[in-house]
Structure 1
Amino acid sequence: MQISLYAKIYNDLKAKISTGIFQIGDMIPPEKELVQIYGVSRITVQKAVNLLAKDGIVERKSGVGTFVIDSDNKEIPKRFIGLILPGLTDSYGNRLLQTIISEAEKSNYQLVLKFSEESQHKESALVDELINMPVDGLLIEPVQRNFYDENLIKKIYSDFPIVILDKELDGIDSMFVGSDHYTGAFESADLIIKKSHRNVVVIGYAHIKNTTLEERIEAFTAAFWETTTPLVSKHVARIIRSTYLSTDLALLKSDVSLIKSFIDAIQPTCVICLDTHVTGLVQEALSELHLSFPDDISLFGFDSNNSSYLSTNYTYLMQDENAIGVKSVELLKKAIRNEPIENRRLLISTTLRQNGSVKDISLS
């Protein structure tokens, strides 16, 4: 007698549970995903899952998903995933963290959060600490440095489930979830070009070079090459030496002075700031130069700083932290379960927020 399709799916899922691919507390793939995996109808999948539930192997939670349970009603063992962040800022990180915590809880995972504080040495030690804990998988936003952590690269190539967030490791075959910085920056440059700005400057860091910042520069350069006035190298100022973690007042004041000198020398119509820390320094420099935006000069930034002491009324490119959080946990769970992964590199669309700080100078 030929076994039915739903029975085959039932047996396959049951086998994956008994062999530990899906463990107690795990959420099995949703019905829509199971339909794609097995190439059957939704009704067939529902029959298989209903049978698992009837046999006390899984439990359906309305609006959440279907979870593996212990038929003997033993306590569900705790499962952990690790998250390493360089730090949190008002402009990026808080919403991402909240989303990751929520998504982990939905799958009965507890999140273990660690901060590397932009230290590559600490980042390396935390990777070892969490893996030895052990966690089942790891989400990590790398520190802002020119060189990658050798220990992290080794763990990636050992096939331990690791998903990189925000700053892609160029040339490394890692799973990645982050913003589509290039497309968003190109569209932002197009907005500035359409407002007739040609004498623009980009302000960034002297010693920090990562894929996020470089893609933003590359996109602006590519967009302006399509105009009659390309963005030449002398208009890209890699001069900022402080970071968002800096507390050295003298260093911060020095950066502001460098910005003032640069703006005085170039006399741009628009200043493009590569992140919110740079934007804050530029705002201070413009204030000391007695320049207001957009009346005297236009200002564009990336992400928005919600600090009470810093104006947020500028046009900027916003990242979708909620989508990054959801997709990163989803990708990590697939890696933990050894499920097929079609796309290891997920780019999330950005949104251009126009707050009037980029003036249309053709109308002046």
Structure 2
Amino acid sequence: MNTPLYEKIYKYIISEIKQGKLTQGDRVPSEKDLAEQFNVSRITSKKALDLLAQNKIIERIRGKGSFVAAQQQKNEEVDDSLPLSRAEDSKLIALIIPDFDNAFGLNLVKAIERTCQQNNINLIIRRTGGRSEEEEKAIRDLVKFGVDGLIIFPVHGEHYNTELLKLVLSEFPLVLVDRYLKGIPASSVCTNNQEASEALTNYLFSLGHKDIAFLSPSPIGTSTIEERLQGFHFAYSKQGLKLNPNFLLLDLISSLPQNIEDALASTKLQADYEAIKQFIVQNPSVTAFIVCEYYLALALKNVLSQLGKSIPRDYSIVCFDCPENLYEKDTFTHIRQHEEEMGKMAVHLLKKQLRGEKIPKHTTINFSLIKGKTTSSISSISNNTIL
């Protein structure tokens, strides 16, 4: 088994004491210096110095640094072995997630839980309901509780929460899933959303559709939606087609199931129904829709049904994610994200961070395009004029 990097630093300091290079009262290299010397994070070097202090080998003085403890008088007697509970203890991590169900998230959670069990890692799961204030509280609570690391599925939002930024700045072991934070150096594991959106758009092109609408919540501040919208634009550009900007509906707000516990959930859903209905009436040439989320695709399908339209006879719909246990007749043509791989990778990357290893800032996971019962060729589309 590989020696943890914090243990290497621990033994290095003791070796310096044994060899007389560091003696009683001498200042020990700082967290920053050790992190640079061993090419690790400051969290790792801090852990090594904390253990040395706990074993009374050094003294840490706030604002001044770390110094060889007074009792280290006979260097050859300094024990460089770590207490068993420190060297081989299991880890405790937490998953913070808006919510999950069998459309998206359930298999992700299962994979994270299973991988933790296989790696002697204990797991806490905390749901935020898609609310930023709950996410901030969860981070504060869990860090105070003493978790060794966090896997976070960030909520939608234009602004990053301050607790998350604090974690990144302090180099706390952290992995984001499903999305990343632009300009923030936090490790993340996401589907290649741009390519996935291009694949959906190109599939509709292959069926003869040219007037395609894109429906989503606001993309501002949410990398997942931004990349899906970008992929939609790229697909049009690569086909040499001009995209009608009126075919973009980017302000839907219900975004279920993340807000299912929201007291205003039904009001938000009704507002989305009205916005979608108005959008359809105002854009009669549209023959197909790309929808960013499964539950918004359901809302669209219900609105079309209320207007007397059927899928795929009158319109084609594709979306991201879809429950795997639906009857075949109800399955949307969709992008299936590889949740199991995403979950395993998140734990793997967090485990490497906990060992003090440097990891990539952005890891993309592949996807599959699943052909369901909600798409047909343009020649099959009937007259979709809304009366």
Shorter-chain TM band: 0.7 to 0.9
Aligned match of 2:157: 145
Aligned match of 1:112: 124
Corresponding residue SS for 2:216: strand
Aligned match of 1:85: 97
Among 174, 181, 196, the alignment partner of 1:184 is 196
In the alignment, is residue 127 of structure 1 matched against residue 145 of structure 2?
no
What is the count of residue pairs matched by the alignment? Answer: 305
In 2, the alpha carbon distance for the partners of 1:195 and 1:252 equals: 31
Aligned match of 1:283: 301
- Displacement of 1:206 after TM fit? 4.9
Moved over 4 A (4+): 14-21, 70-74, 206-209, 306-311
In the alignment, is residue 253 of structure 1 matched against residue 270 of structure 2?
yes
Among 274, 298, 302, the alignment partner of 2:292 is 274
Contact 1:83 1:113 in 2 (8 A): yes
Aligned match of 2:315: 297
- Displacement of 1:15 after TM fit? 8.8
Aligned match of 1:199: 211
Cα 1:123/1:311, change in 2 over 3 Å: farther
Corresponding residue SS for 1:163: strand
- Displacement of 1:71 after TM fit? 10
Aligned match of 1:230: 242
Contact 1:304 1:312 in 2 (8 A): no
The amino acid across from 2:295 in the alignment is H
Aligned match of 1:4: none
Contact 1:207 1:241 in 2 (8 A): no
Contact 2:112 2:344 in 1 (8 A): yes
Aligned match of 2:51: none
- Displacement of 1:89 after TM fit? 2.7
Is the deviation greater in 296-305 or in 236-245? 236-245
With normalisation by structure 2, the TM-score equals: 0.72
- Displacement of 1:73 after TM fit? 10
Cα 1:255/1:14, change in 2 over 3 Å: closer
- Displacement of 1:20 after TM fit? 7.1
Aligned match of 1:52: none
Among 332, 349, 371, the alignment partner of 1:314 is 332
Q: Deviations over 1:62-117 (max 9, x none)?
A: xxxxxxxx99899x755201110011132111111111011111111110111111
- Displacement of 1:222 after TM fit? 1.2
In 1, the alpha carbon distance for the partners of 2:271 and 2:347 equals: 41
- Displacement of 1:213 after TM fit? 0.9
**What is the aligned-residue RMSD (CA, Å)?**
2.9
Cα 1:15/1:337, change in 2 over 3 Å: closer
Corresponding residue SS for 1:205: coil
In the alignment, is residue 347 of structure 1 matched against residue 347 of structure 2?
no
Among 3, 25, 29, the alignment partner of 1:13 is 3
Percent identity (aligned): 24
- Displacement of 1:231 after TM fit? 2.0
Cα 1:249/1:18, change in 2 over 3 Å: closer
In 1, the alpha carbon distance for the partners of 2:300 and 2:369 equals: 20
Cα 1:210/1:309, change in 2 over 3 Å: farther
Cα 1:205/1:72, change in 2 over 3 Å: closer
In the alignment, is residue 172 of structure 1 matched against residue 162 of structure 2?
no
Q: Deviations over 1:278-335 (max 9, x none)?
A: 1111011011011111111111111004687997422000100000011000000000
Contact 1:87 1:117 in 2 (8 A): yes
Q: How does 1:47-62 map to 2 (within 5 A)?
A: none
In 2, the alpha carbon distance for the partners of 1:237 and 1:162 equals: 34
Q: Deviations over 1:170-199 (max 9, x none)?
A: 111110011111111111211111211111
The amino acid across from 2:161 in the alignment is D
Cα 1:207/1:189, change in 2 over 3 Å: closer
In 2, the alpha carbon distance for the partners of 1:340 and 1:205 equals: 34
Contact 2:4 2:356 in 1 (8 A): no
Is the deviation greater in 129-138 or in 221-230? 221-230
In 2, the alpha carbon distance for the partners of 1:225 and 1:161 equals: 40
Structure exhibiting the larger radius of gyration computed from Cα positions: 2
- Displacement of 1:145 after TM fit? 1.1
Unaligned runs of 5+ in 1: 1-9, 22-69
Corresponding residue SS for 2:110: helix
The amino acid across from 1:79 in the alignment is K
Among 341, 350, 354, the alignment partner of 1:323 is 341
- Displacement of 1:130 after TM fit? 1.1
In the alignment, is residue 96 of structure 1 matched against residue 108 of structure 2?
yes
Contact 1:96 1:321 in 2 (8 A): yes
- Displacement of 1:152 after TM fit? 0.6
With normalisation by structure 1, the TM-score equals: 0.76
In 1, the alpha carbon distance for the partners of 2:297 and 2:328 equals: 10
Contact 1:306 1:312 in 2 (8 A): no
